[in-house]
């Protein structure tokens, strides 16, 4: 048996992403980030995967918001319980059964940590790579594609886990909200706030 090649965290041009999201701006970062001026307070009312926030230079005050409680819970737990969440995710195999369990209704029956782990499994083991499309029949299995000496989907899964510590550190300085965007804009509006909507 040939040993798998050593893994490196794979990021296009040094950019980071936690998971794919409808409307996500990861593929637009090269031209988008230079258009966003420096500011005192950077605020994303529709944060989604936080691709812009995670990849821009920090502002003194930063606010992330999304109405989706699952994504907000994931980022909150990643920030507050980084080591526990990353260990739990890192010990999760790329598995149809894990994906099936993660897709089942669980609200109110599990801890926030387990809820965040299951969200990440749905987001990163789904066929389309978009968290919102996760459903029982959409597990991202692979027949012939390989990367880094292993199945391409397993390699991508392991790379996503390896990127989490850096993303968690970036989120330490960010306020995380879960409210309607218009309420958030009213709350944080000032001459020193840049809203990216």
Bridge partners of 193, per DSSP, are 41
Residue-wise pLDDT for 20-62, tens only, equals 888 889 899 999 999 999 999 999 999 999 999 999 999 999 9
Which residues lie closer than 8 Å to 103 by C-beta, 6 or more apart? 122, 134, 135, 136
User: Strand (E) positions, the chain?
Assistant: 41-44, 61-65, 146-147, 150-151, 175-177, 193-195
Kindly state whether residue 100 falls inside one of the protein's structural domains: yes
Cα–Cα distance for residue pair 44/59, rounded to 1 Å: 12
Q: Is residue 30 part of a domain?
A: no
Per-residue pLDDT of 170-180, as tens digits, reads 999 999 999 99
Residue at 31 is within a domain: no
Return d(Cα 18, Cα 45) in angstroms, integer: 18
Structural domain that includes position 99 = 17-23+39-195
The pairing of strands 146-147 and 150-151 is: antiparallel
User: Would you give per-residue pLDDT tens digits along the chain (197 residues)?
Assistant: 334 343 333 345 688 989 888 888 989 999 999 999 999 999 999 999 999 999 999 999 999 999 999 999 999 999 999 999 999 999 999 899 999 999 887 767 899 999 999 999 999 888 776 666 666 666 766 677 767 777 778 888 888 889 999 999 999 999 999 999 999 999 999 999 999 99
Number of domains composing the chain: 1
Q: Is residue 51 part of a domain?
A: yes
At 69, list the tokens.
Answer: 């409680």
pTM metric for this prediction:
0.84
Residue 130 domain-assigned? Answer: yes
């Amino acid at each position: 048996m040939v040993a798998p090649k050593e893994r490196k965290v794979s990021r296009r041009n040094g950019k980071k992403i936690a998971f794919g999201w409808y409307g996500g701006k990861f593929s637009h970062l090269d031209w988008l980030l230079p258009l966003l001026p420096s500011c005192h307070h950077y605020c994303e009312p529709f944060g989604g995967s936080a691709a812009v926030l995670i990849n821009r230079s920090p502002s003194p005050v930063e606010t992330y918001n999304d109405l989706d409680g699952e994504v907000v819970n994931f980022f909150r737990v990643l920030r507050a319980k980084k080591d526990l969440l990353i260990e739990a995710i890192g010990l999760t195999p790329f598995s149809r059964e894990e994906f099936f369990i993660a897709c089942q209704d669980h609200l109110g029956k599990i801890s926030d940590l387990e809820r965040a782990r299951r969200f990440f499994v749905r987001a990163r083991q789904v066929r389309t790579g978009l968290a919102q499309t996760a459903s029982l029949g959409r597990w991202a299995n692979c027949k012939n594609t390989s990367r880094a000496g292993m199945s391409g989907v397993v390699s991508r899964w392991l790379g996503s886990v390896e990127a989490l510590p850096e993303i968690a550190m970036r989120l330490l300085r960010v306020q995380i909200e879960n409210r309607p965007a218009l309420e958030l804009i009213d709350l944080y509006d000032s001459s020193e706030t840049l809203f990216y909507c």
